[in-house]
Amino acid sequence: MRDASPQQTPQAIHLRDYTPFPFHVAHVGLTFWLAPQATRVRSEIRFEPKGPKSDLRLDGEALKLVSAAIDDVPLDLALDDTGVTVPAASLPDRPFTWTAEVEINPSENTALEGLYMSKGMYCTQCEAEGFRKITLYPDRPDVMAPFDVTIHADPSGSTPVLLSNGNPTGDGTWHDPWPKPAYLFALVAGELVAVEDSFTTRSGRDVALKIWVRPGDEGKCAYAMDALKRSMRWDETEYGREYDLDIFQIVAVDDFNMGAMENKGLNIFNSKYVLASPETATDRDYELIEGIIAHEYFHNWTGNRITCRDWFQLCLKEGLTVFRDQQFSGDMRSHAVKRIEDVLQLRARQFREDAGPLAHPVRPESYIEINNFYTATVYEKGAEVIGMLRTLIGPEAYRKGCDLYFDRHDGQACTIEDWIKVFEDATGTDLNQFALWYRQAGTPRVDVSEAWSAKEGGGTYTLTFRQETPRTPGQADKDPQVIPLRTGLLARDGRELIPEQVLELTERTQSFRFTDLPERPIPSLNRGFSAPIVLTRADSTEDRLIRFAHDSDPFNRFEAGRTLSKTVLIKMLTDGSEAPAAYLDALHAVATDDTLDPAFRALALALPSEDDLAQTLAEGDQTPDPVAIHTTRRALLRAVAAHMEPVLDPLYDAMAVPGPYTPEAQAAGKRALRSTALRLLSERDGGARAKAQFAAADNMTEQLSAFSSLLGIGQGAAATDAFYAQWSADRLVMDKWFSLQVSLAAPEDAVTTCKRLTEHADFDWKNPNRFRSTLGALAMNPAGFHDPSGDGYTLFADWLIRLDALNPQTTARMSTAFETWRRYDENRQTRIRIELERIAGTPGLSRDTTEMVGRILRA
Ligand code: TRP
Ligand code: ZN
């Protein structure tokens, strides 16, 4: 399958080069004759010229052209590498119908893009540019058309269920009346069974809901179905958006490059984000299912009805839809806990990206392979930008702007400028400077200094902020951005001295004055993480302890504890000191405070991750040593366990959830805190309680938490075997088995464990979930991956090279494991560079991986 010809330098595409497509597409008719090695696709496309005569360029890749005609007059066309051009001279200057027949080979499609097969089932993935692997078409999101699709079953008889977008018409055709871009096309065929339900929209229309799975999995769809119905209702009440077809379908497939896909009326999901039962799925899995079901459903309005003009506008749909799914999950569970989780994720993925060679703006201005821009920056920072907008203009104005967006742009392919304009028009606010968030890459640094002048009858407190955004690839100088900081001022006893307010930074340096204060306040800044920035303030341990004990903003309370933990850990790392008693007492106090939500307490007790510490050190221009970080973090874990020993056992018992497992947030929170207690207890009891919990567990959350504790203290051997014996037939559970063994292996064992597991009979490297569970887990074990021998890098690179020949998209994504390489010492940098250059020099390397490795190396 590899291209033997020498690598061509891939061409960059630029936002500034956008030109509209010269034809309107009035209708698309598709007929499929399915067969694993030779599927026939007949297309009938109605084109209407928009202006003067122009060539007709159609995209096409890996297609065998059987025939083509315009208005039934056969054309003799030769395909090039990326499609076909019909010269203007052979086109009429009035509307015409293009018909073509092509042949494709789904059974050899290992890239999982276009029409491919997963366990005998046919399915599609067209975003971003996969439709061109199905037929010749203007495969760009600003070409929107209604589709009619007819599917003829595979003659082998293995495809009794035939699905596509839209409503079934009764005569075997799927009719999708809503004009859509080709990236939202979907087709599914196979031996599937449906779990069915229905939803009545607020205007009284009945919608059939179907979740399609392989026979045997019907019992694992109830939670996804429930989440879907809650999402549909929420979009009606919170955004005024109603569903618009007679049927909404979801299909679960095992081989999938990403999480899920919002194809119109026919979402396709990685099965791990649909299937759940108490025995096989953890609380975290349930939470992810709820969030991703919501995300894909919400795309029906933010993405599908209003789509992107071009792929540079990806954050228009993704940032907004992530923001919406975060709001939804907060409403369903706890806003405080959800916000802390989202920020942890943002820092772990997006701040990491912003700090390295792959940094790019929320709206990039050029790309080589668009698949490489489905990033944390586009998704998560894109959501943060919307959150800031809402904070700045307020919730009512935000809703008003959204209503205007839907009114004004329904059925259109839009830009970020369109999005910003509706808020300017709805509120009269000038958002020109705010729009910099879309154009400037990098995480702004905001340094805070303060002054206090005590006077009789009330003192004056001044906060001075200085903002600066570090240089990023291609962007040396940055202008000051609009930074909304939700701010409170605390007294030493924790009282709020002023009503909370939003400080709006717009200048490079800016001061805010607070007068008539009874005492020098402790500032609580950037509450709720109202802006995605790195905030530095030379605050005292005492200040932090007060905020950790009293801040009324739960995020900042968490944040104070996190900053304390990091400071303690970094001090332990540098001078070998021990954890101070005041810090341990503070953790103890939060752990045992029964007025606090257990889920919050679990988050507050968790130590910062090893990668978070490495990143924090790098932010302060220090060189992190991943092995030392691992050892020190474990030492702190032990110190916490020793200090809290007397309360851990009662806490562990108190957090037991009686009765049968339910996934709701309250019970999940208790289990999370119990699991934290178990991990600490395991440092004291050699794993006795964890072994008992492992044996007794009747749900995967508790089984896995016990398994993790045992692996964490190096006592996991028996549990590893027992877990395998119990679960070897369940693919999704086995992914967890692969992943935990590698990610929790001791630093010196991680590479050999990973390597051994790649030789395991159940290591199916062509399945992206299993590949990520095994190799991705190595990158999630920083001390193991960064073993000074470089063995981790070599193993990882070997597998990237191997996977690239089959699946460029997943390979390119996983190459980001190397994006932090400049943080490390010279030995590690040299060894990583050797591997990156080896990957880059592989003959026939995909465009996806070539672009990623090139960008990582060039920094
Ligand atoms: N649009 C999808 C989402 O955010 C994600 C997506 C983009 C995707 N490209 C993909 C999913 C390729 C699978 C494969 O929900
Ligand atoms: Zn999305």
* Residue span of the structural domain in which 509 resides: 450-470+479-531
In terms of domains, do 201 and 52 share one? Answer: yes
CB proximity list for 346: less than 8 A, separation 6 or greater: 376, 380, 381, 384, 529, 532
1 pLDDT above the threshold of 80: no
* 186 C-beta closer than 6 A to ligand 1: no
Q: Which long-range contacts (CB under 8 A, 24 or more apart) does 729-732 make?
A: 730/280, 731/254, 731/271, 731/767, 731/769, 731/770, 732/271, 732/272, 732/275, 732/280, 732/281, 732/769
Query: What CA–CA distance (Å, rounded) separates 632 from 634?
Result: 5
pLDDT digits (tens, 9 = 90+) for 505-516: 999 999 999 999
pLDDT reported for residue 526: 98
305: CA distance to ligand 2 center in Å?
14
Nearest residue CA, atom 15 of ligand 1?
261
* 257 C-beta closer than 6 A to ligand 1: yes
CB proximity list for 582: less than 8 A, separation 6 or greater: 541, 545
pLDDT digits (tens, 9 = 90+) for 708-729: 999 999 999 999 999 999 999 9
Span 188-204, average pLDDT: 98
Pocket test for ligand 1, best of 374, 375, 772, 809 (most atoms within 8 A of CB): 374
806: CA distance to ligand 2 center in Å?
24
457 pLDDT above the threshold of 90: no
In terms of domains, do 435 and 378 share one? Answer: yes
Percent of the chain whose predicted confidence (pLDDT) is above 70? 99
Where a domain ends, among 531, 550, 568?
531
CB proximity list for 486: less than 8 A, separation 6 or greater: 391, 500, 501, 502, 526, 527, 528, 530, 553
3-class SS string, 352-369:
HHHCCCCCCCCCCCEECC
Structural domain contains residue 418: yes
Q: What is the CATH number of the domain that holds 839?
A: 1.25.50.10
pLDDT reported for residue 8: 57
Question: Quick check: 107 and 36 in contact, CB under 8 A?
Answer: yes
290: CA distance to ligand 2 center in Å?
14
Q: In the chain, what is the greatest distance between 2 CA atoms, to the nearest angstrom? A: 93
pLDDT reported for residue 172: 86
In terms of domains, do 458 and 339 share one? Answer: no
In what helix (H) or strand (E) does residue 802 lie, and over which residues does it extend? helix 791-804
Bridge partners, residue 43, by sequence? 30, 100
Pair type for strands 96-104 and 64-70: antiparallel
Structural domain contains residue 260: yes
Looking at ligand 1, which atom is closest to the CA of residue 127? 9
Q: What is the CATH number of the domain that holds 488?
A: 2.60.40.1840
CB proximity list for 609: less than 8 A, separation 6 or greater: 348
* 127 C-beta closer than 6 A to ligand 1: yes
Does 296 qualify as catalytic in the annotation? yes
Q: Is 33 helix (H, G, I), strand (E, B) or coil?
A: strand
* 62 C-beta closer than 6 A to ligand 1: no
Question: Quick check: 193 and 184 in contact, CB under 8 A?
Answer: no
pLDDT reported for residue 3: 46
Indicate the length of the chain as a whole number.
859
Q: What is the CATH number of the domain that holds 423?
A: 1.10.390.10
Question: Quick check: 213 and 119 in contact, CB under 8 A?
Answer: no
Q: Of the bound ligands, which one is closest to the alpha carbon of residue 383?
A: 2
* 126 C-beta closer than 6 A to ligand 1: no
Span 154-171, average pLDDT: 96
Structural domain contains residue 497: yes
Q: Is 460 helix (H, G, I), strand (E, B) or coil?
A: strand
Q: Read off the pLDDT band of 859 (50, 70, 90).
A: confident
Query: What CA–CA distance (Å, rounded) separates 465 from 463?
Result: 7
pLDDT reported for residue 170: 86
Nearest residue CA, atom 3 of ligand 1?
261
pLDDT digits (tens, 9 = 90+) for 204-230: 999 999 999 999 999 999 999 999 999
Q: Of the bound ligands, which one is closest to the alpha carbon of residue 257?
A: 1
Query: What CA–CA distance (Å, rounded) separates 183 from 131?
Result: 6
Structural domain contains residue 689: no
651 pLDDT above the threshold of 90: yes
Under DSSP, the state recorded for 191 is S
Percent of the chain whose predicted confidence (pLDDT) is above 90? 98
Structural domain contains residue 278: no
Q: Read off the pLDDT band of 2 (50, 70, 90).
A: very low
- How many domains in the chain? 4
Query: What CA–CA distance (Å, rounded) separates 273 from 105?
Result: 28
* 491 C-beta closer than 6 A to ligand 1: no
642 pLDDT above the threshold of 90: yes
> Token digits for 582?
């005041």
pLDDT digits (tens, 9 = 90+) for 729-755: 999 999 999 999 999 999 999 999 999
Q: Which one is catalytic: 262, 296, 559, 702?
A: 296
CB proximity list for 833: less than 8 A, separation 6 or greater: 821, 857
In terms of domains, do 346 and 260 share one? Answer: no
Bridge partners, residue 117, by sequence? 122
Where a domain ends, among 210, 241, 269?
269
Looking at ligand 1, which atom is closest to the CA of residue 125? 14
379: CA distance to ligand 2 center in Å?
8
225: CA distance to ligand 2 center in Å?
19
462: CA distance to ligand 1 center in Å?
47
In terms of domains, do 336 and 264 share one? Answer: no
411: CA distance to ligand 2 center in Å?
18
> Token digits for 439?
């154009």
Structural domain contains residue 256: yes
Query: What CA–CA distance (Å, rounded) separates 656 from 696?
Result: 13
Q: Of the bound ligands, which one is closest to the alpha carbon of residue 371?
A: 1
Q: What is the CATH number of the domain that holds 177?
A: 2.60.40.1730
* 261 C-beta closer than 6 A to ligand 1: yes
Span 395-399, average pLDDT: 98
Looking at ligand 1, which atom is closest to the CA of residue 374? 7
121: CA distance to ligand 1 center in Å?
19
Nearest residue CA, atom 13 of ligand 1?
258
Residue holding tokens 């909370």? 500
* 258 C-beta closer than 6 A to ligand 1: yes
CB proximity list for 375: less than 8 A, separation 6 or greater: 353, 358, 360
Looking at ligand 1, which atom is closest to the CA of residue 262? 15
pLDDT reported for residue 9: 67
* 318 C-beta closer than 6 A to ligand 1: yes
Query: What CA–CA distance (Å, rounded) separates 159 from 149?
Result: 16
130: CA distance to ligand 1 center in Å?
11
681: CA distance to ligand 2 center in Å?
40
Instruction: Provide the whole-model pTM.
Output: 0.98
446 pLDDT above the threshold of 60: yes
Nearest residue CA, atom 9 of ligand 1?
127
In terms of domains, do 227 and 82 share one? Answer: yes
In terms of domains, do 854 and 740 share one? Answer: yes
* 709 C-beta closer than 6 A to ligand 1: no
What are the φ/ψ torsions at residue 843 (nearest 5 degrees)? Answer: -60, 135
Pocket test for ligand 1, best of 261, 318, 324, 370 (most atoms within 8 A of CB): 261
Q: Is 732 helix (H, G, I), strand (E, B) or coil?
A: helix
Residue holding tokens 């879907």? 228
Query: For all residues of the chain together, what is the average pLDDT?
Result: 97
* C-alpha closest to that of 672 among 598, 729, 743: 598
* CA 638 to chain CA mean position, Å: 33
828 pLDDT above the threshold of 80: yes
In terms of domains, do 749 and 848 share one? Answer: yes
Report CA-CA distances (Å) from 306 to 180, 422, 476, 730.
9, 14, 34, 39
476 pLDDT above the threshold of 60: yes
547 pLDDT above the threshold of 60: yes
Nearest residue CA, atom 7 of ligand 1?
127
Pocket test for ligand 1, best of 127, 129, 375 (most atoms within 8 A of CB): 127
In terms of domains, do 31 and 117 share one? Answer: yes
Structural domain contains residue 559: no
Nearest residue CA, atom 6 of ligand 1?
261
Span 472-478, average pLDDT: 97
* 325 C-beta closer than 6 A to ligand 1: no
Neighbouring CB atoms inside 10 A of 581's CB total 10
Q: Of the bound ligands, which one is closest to the alpha carbon of residue 260?
A: 1
In terms of domains, do 51 and 181 share one? Answer: yes
Where a domain ends, among 487, 507, 531?
531
* C-alpha closest to that of 486 among 507, 500, 466: 500
132: CA distance to ligand 1 center in Å?
16
Structural domain contains residue 709: no
In terms of domains, do 254 and 349 share one? Answer: no
* 810 C-beta closer than 6 A to ligand 1: no
Under DSSP, the state recorded for 7 is P
258: CA distance to ligand 1 center in Å?
6
* 369 C-beta closer than 6 A to ligand 1: no
Nearest residue CA, atom 1 of ligand 1?
261
* 262 C-beta closer than 6 A to ligand 1: yes
In terms of domains, do 44 and 154 share one? Answer: yes
DSSP string, 500-566: -EEEEE-SSEEEEEEEEESSPPEEE-SGGG-S--EEEE---HHHHHHHHHH-SSHHHHHHHHHHHHH
Q: Of the bound ligands, which one is closest to the alpha carbon of residue 141?
A: 1
Looking at ligand 1, which atom is closest to the CA of residue 128? 9
Question: Quick check: 33 and 40 in contact, CB under 8 A?
Answer: yes
pLDDT reported for residue 5: 45
Under DSSP, the state recorded for 8 is P
Question: Quick check: 89 and 164 in contact, CB under 8 A?
Answer: no
pLDDT reported for residue 600: 98
Nearest residue CA, atom 10 of ligand 1?
127
* 260 C-beta closer than 6 A to ligand 1: yes
In what helix (H) or strand (E) does residue 461 lie, and over which residues does it extend? strand 459-468
> Token digits for 790?
């470089």
